[in-house]
Structures are given as C-alpha cells and as structure tokens.
Amino acid sequence: MNYETDPMVAGAALRQGLDERLWPGEAQAQFETLPNKPPRPQVKITGSIQAVALPAQAVKPLIRHSSLPLAELLKKMNQYSNNEMAEMIANTVGGAEAVASQAAAIADVPPTEIQLINGSGLGEENRISPRAVCALYQAIAKLLHPQQLTIADIVAVTGEKEGILNQRPLPKGLVVKSGTLDQVSALAGAWPTKDQDILWFAILNSAGDLEQFRAEQEILLQQFQKDYGIALVQPELLRPNPKRANNQPINEFIK
C-alpha cells in the first residue's frame, strides 16, 4: 500500500484510504483530479491493525483487488521512473544479484558488464555497459514476441502518454528509458528509422552538469533525426499491442 514494505504502516494507509473522513489534505486534492469521480468510500474499520503471514481460515475476505498485468505495471514504472516499483519487482524475482545474472545471460554479455546492487538503479555501484544495454533491449524484444508483446508495451514511447520523458524536447515515437543520478545522465532505447530499420542506442554521460548532459543528448538525437529520419508508422517490433490498451485493475466486493 503506497509502496510501503512495513505491513503495519501499509495497514494504516489502507484503513485511512477506505474512509474518506480520515483522508489528509493531499488525498483530498488527489481525489479532485480524478476524471470520473467514484463515490467517496466511508468504510469504518474498528480494532487494531495486525500483521500476519497468512489470513486465518475463519476470516472472510470483503474486497478483492486484481492489479494490472505485469506488462502494464512495468510500462507505468518506466513512464514515471518509479524507483519503489522497480525495487519491489526486482526483489520479487530474486533481488539485484539474480536480476544481474539473468540479464547478462539473456543479453549474452559478460557478467562484469551488468553489475547491480539494487533494483532501482540508484547508486553509482549499479553499472551496465552501453553494449549490454543495447543487447538487453534486443533480448527482451525477442522474449516478448511470443507473448504478443513488444518493447513499446513495457517501455515509454515519447509523445505517447504522460511521463517524465515528455518534459524533454525529444523526437516523438522513440521507445526509450532515461536514468539519472547526481552527476550521471543516461538515455537508451530504440529509434525507428524512416526506412523501418531500428537503431538501438545507449548514451551515458557522467561527472558533470545534468542539464548540460541532457542538452547534449538532445542535440545528438537531433543529428540522428537528420541522418536516419523517423518512421511515420512504428515497425512491428516496436508497435504496442492495441488489445492491451484498455486493461484495467479490478476491484470487487465479495458477497
């Protein structure tokens, strides 16, 4: 709940969220931004919050929440560069070491080229070579194909929807992910050329001014656009599956 790993804190947030009479000002403000406002919940929960490994058999569930499929969660995580989500997903599949090992294996690069200390990428000890980044993108694309998915189903597409990359003057139609530390800026992904080819690229700048790095990256991409053009229609390998566009989480009361 709210990316909290402490079950007691998460439980308190859940109880607060289910009763609008307990909402803080921030929650009230967020509710007002919803396009189609649902009824305000007023579920009063008495008693104390308890953390247990599994619910007791005598407990009857009242509400079931089914989240978006993992692909859509990854897409939203990448659109907003959500570090908490990245950390939780990495820990769910075995932690940073397991992720690094599997990533190096599927990308067919030496393990030394993918070194991770956490799932979010925060920290200079997290290191991935530009070659490994491009190889990893291509390997993921191959893994997604049998599932009727493409890279664009899990990575942000510039100009498509809201996200941190749309705050920058980047060409529309790129499938990209950025990365930022105090003195490090990275941008990597797929460029669909006017000839329907795909240019896989990785740019890494370090030890300097972030705004200058981003400006230099944008100048380089402008040069790419002059040299390669950009596809008016995404090549199949970068075209998101339209059937997944309307996937929604499901909340239901159990009778």
* pLDDT on residue 58: 76
Element (H or E) spanning 251, and its range? strand 250-253
Distance CA 70, CA 76 (A): 10
Beta bridge partners of 115: 127
pTM of the model: 0.85
* pLDDT on residue 152: 96
* pLDDT on residue 85: 94
For 77, 106, 110, the CA distances from 102, given in Å and listed in that order, are 20, 6, 11
Neighbours of 141 (CB within 10 A): 20
* pLDDT on residue 107: 97
* pLDDT on residue 17: 92
pLDDT tens, position by position, for the chain (255 residues)?
788 889 999 999 999 999 999 999 999 999 999 888 889 999 988 889 988 877 667 778 888 889 999 999 999 999 999 999 999 999 999 999 999 999 999 999 999 999 999 999 999 999 999 999 999 999 999 999 999 999 999 999 999 878 899 889 999 999 999 999 999 999 999 999 999 999 999 999 999 999 999 999 999 999 999 999 999 999 999 999 999 988 989 988 887
* pLDDT on residue 190: 97
The CA radius of gyration of the chain, in Å to the nearest whole number, is 21
Domains of the chain listed by start with CATH number: 7-59 (no CATH), 70-242 (3.40.710.10)
* pLDDT on residue 189: 97
Neighbours of 133 (CB within 10 A): 24
**For residues 173 and 158, is the Cβ–Cβ distance under 8 A?**
yes
Alpha helix ranges (H) inside the chain = 7-17, 25-32, 70-80, 83-92, 96-107, 130-144, 210-228
* pLDDT on residue 214: 96
* pLDDT on residue 35: 85
Distance CA 210, CA 179 (A): 11
Crossing angle of helices 83-92 and 70-80, in 10° steps, is 140
